[in-house]
Amino acid sequence: MAVSDLGPGGVADAGGIDVERVKKDFPILERQVHGRRLVYLDSAASSQKPTSVLEAMNRYYETTHANVHRGVYSLAEEATALYEASRTKVARFIGATSEREVIYTKNVTEAINLLAHSWGRTYLRAGDSILLTEIEHHANLVPWLMLKDHLGIELRYLPLGTDGQLDLSGLDRLVEGVKLVSITALSNVLGTIIPVRRIADAAHAAGAVVIVDGAQHVPHLDTDVAAMGADFFAFTGHKMLGPTGIGVLWGRGDLLEAMPPFLGGGDMIRDVRLDGFTPNELPWKFEAGTPPIAEAVGLAAAIDYLEGLGMDAVHRHEVELNSYALRTLTERHGDQLTIHGPAEPAMRGGVLSFSFSDLHPHDISQILDSQGVCVRAGHHCAKPLMRRMGVGATARASFYVYNDEADVDALSDALGEAARFFA
């Protein structure tokens, strides 16, 4: 069943998502694991793909595949049109003013490394300061640590406060004199929705450029890069029902124009001589080599699917599911369970990290897998945050459009089984 069959906007009459109908769009949810129905609760790591995305990519390979931009025969022109139409769709989805500001990368990690190498090494000098937060994914931490070692810059951090929120009481002091502020929009561990605009306004008042890691934001919330106050913004396809291997870096056109290329090779050049080269115009200046063409087609189909559901409906669904999960798990498991992050469901995305009894998260994950329930276990690429929380790792359940209360109940039952197994 395609999303267009779901009714007006792909949602139920009451304005919410009809999960039973949505589930039918995801073939993988039909399989069983260890003789039990699959309960997939790891979308913060990578989401599943609807049939429309799979079919769009297969159709491209079956009917249209050719390299883009340089061919003048029909297949190449059709492939180029699909690739660039995807870019236009991405721009509209995030509120960008021009598709020329949309650059395709492999993922958010590559996007931030691009910024660290191209913008950072061009405009930062020894003694300059960058402001990050204590809750960042390694993708928005390690590139700046590498730059710190290379250039001798200073890194500052907005601290974690109470209830999983950032402590912004010292924001004006910490942002004073910084050249760059780079923050996540939604924590992949705590689920915390970050007040990006408040931080961006303070950063701009101090003369800083703002980078936003939107990997967990774009799949779950309506996104407008201008309203956020971002100067650069990055997200990835595979967390938003799209394929792996494609990410997006959006940047203000004037900033991108002033940056040197990140990678060298084909397609990112206008001219090459034995003594030098002239880079291509935006966005191709930053897209060296054969790009992820089929993946761009799949990403466009994923955007179509999410727009059919409506991003406001996606967020409402996750708030309702958060509320049910927090209530159900707490009432059933009591003091055995510690849920990290904001207590208010509306203040968090569909991410629920927890500790259970004195069990190691890997043991929890293995027992849950035996019950058909997929959760992530580990440090979630946020080791400094784990240390700040006083834990080595957590188990993490993350919800999306194909999850419902029955999936939360299955998680709760599986935790009960883990308690019995290790008793």
CA distances from 152 to 127, 128, 129, 238, 244 (A): 6, 8, 9, 35, 34
Q: Is 112 helix (H, G, I), strand (E, B) or coil?
A: helix
CA dihedral (27, 42, 402, 197) positive or negative: negative
Q: Enter the tokens of residue 383.
A: 């080791």
| Cα dihedral 111→117→119→123 (10° resolution) | 160
Residue closest to 242 by CA, chosen among 211, 212, 215:
215
DSSP code, position 110: H
Residue closest to 292 by CA, chosen among 150, 78, 103, 133:
103
Question: Euclidean distance between the first and final Cα of the chain, in Å?
Answer: 44
Round to whole Å and give the CA distance between 176 and 360.
41
Among the listed residues 255, 381, 386, 391, the single catalytic one is: 381
Round to whole Å and give the CA distance between 352 and 326.
9
If 0-12 CB within 10 Å is exposed, 13-18 middle and 19+ buried, where does residue 54 land? Answer: middle
> Is 374 a catalytic site residue?
no
Round to whole Å and give the CA distance between 345 and 402.
18
By annotation, the residues acting in catalysis are: 381
